[in-house]
Structure 1
Amino acid sequence: MLKTVSAVGALADALRQRILSGEIEAGRSLPEQEVAAEYGVARPTVREALAVLVHEGLLRRERNRSAHVPVVTVSDLDDLMYVRRPLEDLMVEAVNGSRVAGADEALARMAALPSDAPWSAAVAEHMTLHEALIEAVGSPRLERLYGVLAAETRLGLVGLREVYTDRDVLVREHRELLDAIAERPLEAARAMVRDHLSHSWGR
C-alpha cells in the first residue's frame, strides 16, 4: 500500500524501477485496473503515474489501449547509436582536456552502490554521468537533442544488466572514459568515446 501523500510520484518511481530493472519486460501491458489492485491505489492515481512514464518515454500508450513497455530492437539501438555518436563527438570536442564534476560525482555514486542495489540505480547514475558531460558543453540545443534520446537509451540499458553482472566492470569502463576525455589528446578521446558507445551495445 502506497502512502496517500505523493502517491503518483511514489507509484511512478516504483514502476520506473521495475521497468529499468527488467522485471517488467518489454512488450508487457500495464492495465490500470491491475496496477491499481497490485499497489492498492485508485485508478486516477495509476492513470497519472502512467502518464508520467509515458512522458518520459518508458511507456507508450495508443488510443483505447493499455500503456505498455516499448520493445527496443537491435535495429533501434543501431539507429540510436548512429544519432548519438555525432552528439557525443561534439561533447568531446568541447570538454576535452577538462574534468566534468557532475560526471565524476555520478561515477563515484555508481561505484558506491551496494552489491545488492537494483540495476535501475546503476542506470540512473549512468544516465546522469552522460548527461553531465553533455550539459558541460553549454549548448541548450545539444541538451534538448540528447534529451530526446534519453528514454530509448534508458530502455536499451535494461538489456545491459546481463552484460554487466559485475558492476565494477561498468565503473571501470566509465572511469577510463572520463580519464580519456580529460587527459588524452582530442582524437584519442574521440576514438575512446566511439569505442565506448559501440562496446556498450555489445558490438
Structure 2
Amino acid sequence: MKKSPEARLAASAAVLSPTATRSIGASLAAVLRERIETGFYEPGVWIRESALAEEFGYSNGPIRDALQVLVGEGLLIKEAWRGVRVVELSDKEIIEIFQLRMTLLDLAAELACHHIGKDELRVGRALLKKVEAALVKGDIPAQQSLGNQLCHWLCDCSQNGRLGSSWDRLTSQSRMYIHVSLKANDDPAKILDPWQALLDALEDRDVVRARAAARHLSRRTLEGLGLNFGL
C-alpha cells in the first residue's frame, strides 16, 4: 500500500526521535535525502529553512547543517540571498550520471564473477524475491530501496572495498531519476529480468553475460526517462 503524504511526514518525524544516536543535523539530512530521492521534493523545488523549522521544531543551526550536507552531496544547490533548491539536471547530465553507474556496475559484475559464493547468491536471490513482491504491491519506494540494496550487494560481491564505498558518493544524484523511471514503468519484467539475468550469469561465472546484464540495468532506467544512453 502506498503511503499518503501525511503518513510519510509522520514517518519522517519519527526518524528525528530524541533517542536517535545521530546528531539532529544528520538525522534531518537523512529525512530530506529520502524526500529528494523519492520525489517528495521534485527537481528545482526550493527548500525553505523557515518551513523546515516550523515542521520539525528545530533552530536554524541544525537545519543549516542538514542542508549543507546535501549541498555537499550534490542533491541541493545553494544560491546567495535565495536559499537552497533541489538540483535539476539537464538530459545530458542525467545520461552522464547513468553512464557512470553503468561503468561501476559493469566492473562490479566482472569482479563478482570471480569472487561470488553460494551464500552471496542466496542473498541476491532473496533480495530479488522482495523486489518481485514490491512490484506486485506497486510499492515504488520499496522497489527503489531494494534496487539500491541489490547494487550495494553487487559491489560487496566484487570484493573491491573502494568500489563499494564510492557507490553512494558517485551515484547519489541518480536516485531521484530512478524513482521517476520506476513510476513510469508498467511492465514488472523490465525490472526483474535484468537482475535475474545477472544473478544467473554470476552463478555460471560468465563474465560476458554478467557485464551485459549490468549494462542493461542502467539502459533500462534511462529508457523509462525517455532518454537514449548515447552508447
TM-score (norm 2): 0.71
Out of 112, 119, 137, the residue aligned to residue 115 of structure 1 is 137
The 8 Å contact of residues 59 and 70 in structure 1, kept in 2 or not, is answered as: yes
Residue 127 of structure 2 is aligned to residue 106 of structure 1:
yes
Out of 63, 80, 89, the residue aligned to residue 46 of structure 1 is 63
**Post-superposition CA distance 1:44-86 (Å, at most 9, x none):** 3322332343344332324554222111332112212333333
- 1:183 aligns with 204
Q: Unpaired runs of 5+ in structure 2?
A: 1-9
The 8 Å contact of residues 177 and 196 in structure 1, kept in 2 or not, is answered as: no
**Post-superposition CA distance 1:143-166 (Å, at most 9, x none):** 344343221221221321332356
- 1:139 aligns with 160
The 8 Å contact of residues 101 and 171 in structure 2, kept in 1 or not, is answered as: no
- 1:77 aligns with 94
How far, CA to CA, are the matches of 2:124 and 2:90 in structure 1? Answer: 28
**How far 1:195 sits from its partner (Å)?**
2.4
How far, CA to CA, are the matches of 1:41 and 1:115 in structure 2? Answer: 36
**How far 1:130 sits from its partner (Å)?**
0.8
Q: Unpaired runs of 5+ in structure 1?
A: none
**How far 1:106 sits from its partner (Å)?**
3.5
- 1:37 aligns with 54
The 8 Å contact of residues 123 and 157 in structure 1, kept in 2 or not, is answered as: yes
Distance 1:11 1:72, change over 3 A: same
Out of 103, 110, 123, the residue aligned to residue 93 of structure 1 is 110
How far, CA to CA, are the matches of 1:199 and 1:123 in structure 2? Answer: 14
Out of 136, 147, 163, the residue aligned to residue 184 of structure 2 is 163
How far, CA to CA, are the matches of 1:129 and 1:30 in structure 2? Answer: 31
How far, CA to CA, are the matches of 1:8 and 1:95 in structure 2? Answer: 36
Distance 1:108 1:55, change over 3 A: farther
Number of matched pairs = 202
Query: Quick one: which amino acid aligns to residue 76 of structure 2?
Result: L
Secondary structure at 1:27's aligned position in 2? coil
Distance 1:129 1:166, change over 3 A: same
How far, CA to CA, are the matches of 1:88 and 1:116 in structure 2? Answer: 26
**Post-superposition CA distance 1:65-112 (Å, at most 9, x none):** 422211133211221233333332222221127463554443344334
How far, CA to CA, are the matches of 1:70 and 1:180 in structure 2? Answer: 36
